[in-house]
Amino acid sequence: MTDSIRLSKRMSELGICSRREADEWIERGWVRVDGQIISQLGTKIHPDQKITIEKKAQSEQAKKVTILINKPMGFVSGQAEDGHKPAVTLVNEKTRWTADKTEEHFHPRQLKSLVPAGRLDIDSVGLLVLTQDGRVAKRLIGEETEVEKEYLVRVRHTLPGKLPDEKLKQLRHGLKLDGKPLLPAKVNWQNDDQLRIVLQEGKKRQIRRMCEAVGLKVVGLKRVRIGKVKLGDLPPGQWRYLHPDEKF
């Protein structure tokens, strides 16, 4: 079939699960195409064919957790590096926010395959999402994501005087990083030394590099929202579960 596509890729495109999860389910015989069980990795299908998953896959997926953490400075988002601990090491029964009203019970097995859905630099603080669910990760960091990320950014002027209006307009749209144009951003002054910046992308150290390009130095950066999910009153170094009713 000229328009055929790998089954695992199609499952990811449809938001059923991540490609890695799809491959696991296929190997276990938990995936059907037009009613027929497919257990061969690499199988290609036509986009119009109907994909269903067995109840065992649905049950396993329902057990996956998504955690929101208020990352303090000095912790990295993912793998440990240069002696700095990853944010996941903060997740335990004692650091769970007492105001978390979800009925989920913490168990160390929830730490398995718990990965960050997006970066937050070591010297940045605020809302970080850790998830076992490939659907959540794809929603937040997939190539076609449109989920907004909101930041409060404290800055210091490196040039005399206030930031010219044309420079503020550049922050909103017109800058390039690594030779590629950035998507439009929402940028507004909150006070004399703090900006509110809303992005729909997350290139490495993007906000710091954007600010440097217009003569501002970032001295503090806090992420306060991802999509419809807000950091709120979650204390630094503590975490809570994503509520079943919350959607990014």
Residue 99 is part of a domain; what is its CATH number? Answer: 3.30.70.580
| Same-domain pairing of 196 and 161 | yes
**Residue-wise pLDDT tens digits, 99-145:** 998 988 998 888 988 889 988 999 999 999 999 888 888 888 876 77
One domain, residues 132 and 80: yes
Do 95 and 115 reside in the same domain of the chain? Answer: yes
The confidence score (pLDDT) of residue 1 equals 47
Does 120 share its domain with 235?
yes
Tokens linked to 174: 């017109």
- On whether residue 246 sits in a domain, the answer given is no
Residue 45 sits in the same domain as residue 155 = no
Residues 49 and 87 in one domain: no
Give catalytic residue positions: 121
CATH of the domain at 29: 3.10.290.10
Confidence (pLDDT) at 50: 93
Domain shared by 116 and 210, yes or no: no
Q: Are residues 219 and 234 in the same domain?
A: no
Give the model's confidence band at 2: pLDDT under 50 very low, under 70 low, under 90 confident, else very high. Answer: low
> pLDDT grade, residue 13 (50/70/90)?
confident
Mean pLDDT computed over 220-232: 96
Residue 19 lies in a domain: yes
Q: Do 98 and 160 fall within a single domain? A: no
Is the pLDDT score of 45 beyond 90?
Answer: yes
Give 178: exposed, middle or buried? Use CB within 10 Å, 0-12, 13-18, 19+: exposed
Residue 146, burial from CB neighbour count under 10 angstroms (0-12, 13-18, 19+): exposed
Q: Of the candidates 247, 232, 205, 7, which has an alpha carbon nearest to the alpha carbon of residue 127?
A: 232
What pLDDT is stored for residue 61 in this prediction? Answer: 73
Instruction: Tell me if 83 is assigned to some domain.
Output: yes
Same domain, 114 and 233: yes
Predicted confidence at residue 165, as pLDDT, reads: 92
- Please check whether residues 71 and 138 belong to one and the same domain: yes
Does 199 map to a domain? yes
User: Which residue is it, tokens 């986009």?
Assistant: 47
- Structural domain harbouring 110: 66-144+229-241
Residues 132, 23 share a domain = no
Specify if 219 maps to a domain: yes
Q: Tell me the percentage of the chain whose pLDDT exceeds 70.
A: 98
Which CATH number covers residue 182? 3.30.70.1560
Query: Cα separation of 187 and 89, whole Å?
Result: 33
pLDDT tens by residue, 159-205: 888 899 999 999 999 999 999 999 999 999 999 899 999 999 888 89
Decide if 247 is inside a domain.
Answer: no
**Would residue 248 count as lying in a domain?**
no
Average pLDDT, the chain: 91
Tell me what pLDDT residue 19 has.
83
pTM attached to this predicted model: 0.80
Q: What is the mean pLDDT of residues 229-235?
A: 97
Residue 71 lies in a domain: yes
Can you give the pLDDT at residue 202? 83
Total tally of structural domains belonging to the chain = 3
